[in-house]
Structure 1
Amino acid sequence: MSPFRAGLAVAATAGLAPVLVAQGLRVRRTTPRLPGATGPRHGSVPGPDPLRLLVVGESTVDGVGARTHEEALTGQLAVALASRLHRGISWRVAGRTGANARTVRSELLDEACREPADLLVVALGVNDTIELRSPGRYRCDLLALVVAARRALGPVPVLLAGVPPLRAFPALPQPLRLVLGLRGEALDTAAATLAALPDVTYCPVPGEVVDPALFAADGFHPGPPGYRLWAGTLADAVGRSLGAPGRAGSAGPNG
C-alpha cells in the first residue's frame, strides 16, 4: 500500500469521524450475531506422517459463519493440506471472536502452545482494523506473537494469513466500508513485511473469498464455501513454502 493511500486512510478517518461512528453503531446494532463453530476444536485427517497444525486468530478461526470447525477455516485447511502434502494432518484451533493480535498473544497463546505443533497459521487483522490500530502497532503485535509462539514451540514454520479486505464486506455501508478497507490494506501491507523473517510466509486473502455469494448470513464472515476457498489458498502457500507444489482445485468436505 502506498504512503499516499495510508495517509488517505488516516485523513478519511478523522474527517468522517462523526459519520463513521454513527454507521459503526448502526452496523453493530443491526448485524446478526452469529456464534462460533460448535463441536471439537481439534481433529485429524488420516494419512501417513501426520503434520501437527495449530491455527490461532480471531472470529474466522473461531469458525463464525460455519456450523462446525470441520466446515470452518481450520478443518478445511487440514483437508486441503492433506491433499497437497500427501500426509495426515492433526489440527487444533485457538480462536476467539473479537480478539486482536495483542489479545491472542496474551490470552490464548500460552494454552495453545502447551502441545507441540509443526506448523502455525495466524489469521488476524479485522478486529485490529476496526479498533483503528496503526500499521506499526499491528506489525509489532504480530511480531511479538510469532516470537512468543516460537519460544514455546521451537522454530516452527509460520503462515500469516492476510487481512481480509473489508472494502468488500456486504455488511458495511459506505463510507465506513471504504475507510476500513483502506485501513485494513495498510495493516495487511505491514503484516506482509514479516515474511522477511526466516520460515515466515505471508499469504494474502484472495479476492474471490469476498464474493458476496460466499459470505455467511451476517455479511461479515465467510460461509463454508468461502472458508474452503480461503483454505485452499493457504494450503497452496504452505505447499510452496515446504517445497510441495500446489495442485489445481482445493479439497474440502463438500468437494
Structure 2
Amino acid sequence: MGEPALRSATNLSLVLGPILMFQGRRLRRTIPRLPEASGLCTGLVSGASPCLASPTLASPPLNLLLIGESTAAGVGAAEHSEALVGQLAHATAARTDRAVAWQVLGRSGATARRARSMLLESELEFTPDVVVLALGVNDVLQMHSASVWRTELRELVSAVRERCGSVPVVFAAVPPMGRFPALPQPLRAVLGLRARLLDRNAQRLASELEVVFHSGAVELAPNQATALFCADRFHPSPAGYRLWAKHLSAVVETACGCRPSAV
C-alpha cells in the first residue's frame, strides 16, 4: 500500500472517532500493566553467554546502545537478558563473533521527543559503536502526524550525534500494531495503518540521513500471536523479543560494517 493510500486509510480515525475513543478507554482499563524488565541496564555478552562482569577480552567489545519505549525497557520479559536489548546483544555477538557490551535507555510511554530528553539527561557507560532506536507505538497512540514524527525523529538523531559523534544509527521498524492481539477491531486496523505510515516515514528519513539505517518490519502471521506476545497481548514475549532481535541484528551488523563470522 502506497503512502497516499495509507494517509487516506488513516483518516478513518476521524470517521470512527467515537468508536475508537470508547475502545481506547476500555483498553486502558482492562489491559494488564506489566513491569519493565528487572536487573541492571548495562551488560556484556561474550560468545553465547550473557554476563555482567567484564572478562579479559582479546579485543574490545562492540558497544551497543538501545534507546526506546516499553519494548526497550523490556516489558513482557522478566530480565533484560531475555528482553530486546539482551537478545539483540546475543544475536549480534553470534553474527559478528565479537563480544557486545550493551546499555539500554528505555521507558514505558516514551515517544521520540521523550527519548531525546532521556538521552540528553542520562549518563552513558561508554561511547557507543552503534545506537538502535526502538520507538513508534506511543507516537501512534498519541496520534502524532507523520510530519511531527519525522521532525522529532530527526531531532533525536541530532541528539545522538551531539552525545555520541558520527555513530551509526538504526531505526527499528515501528511494531506491526495491526497484529497486536490486545487491540479490538476497528481500533487495531486504524492503529496498524498509522503504524505503517510512521514506519514508512522513518524509512524515508533513514535514506536521507548519513549513516542511518532502517531495519524493516518483522512479518507476523496471525497464528504467531500466542507465542510471540506476553500475557498482556500487547508487548512481546521473550520468544517475540528473540525473533525481533534476530531480524534486527542483521541490520546492526551491516551498520557497524562487521563481517559475518565464518560458518
TM-score by length of 2: 0.89
1:225 pairs, out of 239, 250, 254, with 239
Q: How many Å separate the matches in 1 of 2:168 and 2:202?
A: 16
SS in structure 2 of the partner of residue 79 of structure 1: helix
Q: Deviations over 1:53-73 (max 9, x none)?
A: 110000000000000000000
Residues matched between the structures, number: 248
CA RMSD of aligned residues (A): 1.9
Amino acid at match of 2:9: L
Gaps of at least 5 residues in structure 1 are 248-255
Q: Secondary structure at the match of 2:244?
A: helix
8 A contact 2:74–2:84 mirrored in 1: yes
Match for 1:100 among 111, 114, 129?
A: 111
| Equivalent pair of 1:101/1:124 in contact (CA under 8 Å) | yes
Report deviation, 1:204: 1.8
Q: Which moved more, 1:41-50 or 1:219-228?
A: 41-50
Counterpart selection for 2:70 from 59, 65, 76: 59
* Structure 1 residues 106-150: Cα deviation after superposition (integer angstroms, max 9, x where no partner): 234431547421110000000000000001110110110011111
Task: State the alpha-carbon separation in 2 of the partners of residues 163 and 94 from structure 1.
Answer: 17
| 4+ residue segments displaced more than 2 Å | 46-49, 107-110, 112-115, 208-211, 240-247
Equivalent residue letter for 2:181:
P
Alignment of 1:41-56 (within 5 A): 41-46=41-46, 48-56=59-67
> What letter matches 1:199 in structure 2?
V
Q: State the partner residue of 1:236.
A: 250
Which structure 2 residues correspond to residues 182-221 of structure 1 after superposition, within 5 A? 182-196=193-207, 197-208=209-220, 211-212=224-225, 213-221=227-235
Structure 2 regions of 5+ residues with no counterpart?
47-56
Equivalence for 2:5:
4
Tell me whether 234-243 or 11-20 shows the greater mean CA deviation: 234-243
Distance in 2 between residues matched to 1:63 and 1:189, nearest whole Å: 25
CA contact (8 A) 2:65 2:132 kept: yes
2:85 is equivalent to residue 74 of structure 1: yes
Aligned residue type for 1:102:
R
Give me the TM-score of the superposition, normalised by structure 1: 0.92
Aligned to 1:15: 15
